[in-house]
Amino acid sequence: MMNHDSDASPVDCIVHLARQIIYECPSGASRAAEIIMWTGEIRTRRPSRDELAAHVDLFCKGLMPDDHRDALIACLRALVLLAA
């Protein structure tokens, strides 16, 4: 279980978790590296809702119902807006 630093931003927590995945699960390292890349873009560029939707569709198309897809996009958008 990951220790949670209440002072860390949500993006910092995601990067920390992705690094743990790289260390503990080498088979997931490439996906975790993509997560780290996206967190950098979230911090510097703040992707639009359309960009986030395209990213979700690229990796999750057909793997979840439309309402889950929409909820995931909404959560990612909230993360982008809250990223420090």
**Is residue 84 scored above 60 in pLDDT?**
no
Chain position carrying tokens 């209440």: 6
Q: State the first-to-last Cα distance of the chain, in angstroms, to the nearest integer.
A: 24
Whether 1 maps to a domain, the answer reads no
Roughly what angle, to the nearest 10 degrees, separates helices 66-82 and 49-60? 130
Whether 63 maps to a domain, the answer reads yes
Whether 67 maps to a domain, the answer reads yes
Whether 27 maps to a domain, the answer reads yes
Whether 4 maps to a domain, the answer reads no
pLDDT tens for 12-44 read 888 888 888 888 888 888 888 888 888 887 778
Whether 22 maps to a domain, the answer reads yes
CA-to-CA separations, 34 to 55, 61, 82, in angstroms, rounded? 11, 17, 20
pLDDT tens for 42-77 read 778 888 899 989 988 887 788 888 999 899 888 888
Task: Please state the domain count of the chain.
Answer: 1
**Is residue 83 scored above 90 in pLDDT?**
no
Q: Which domain holds residue 58?
A: 10-82
Whether pTM exceeds 0.85 = no
Whether 37 maps to a domain, the answer reads yes
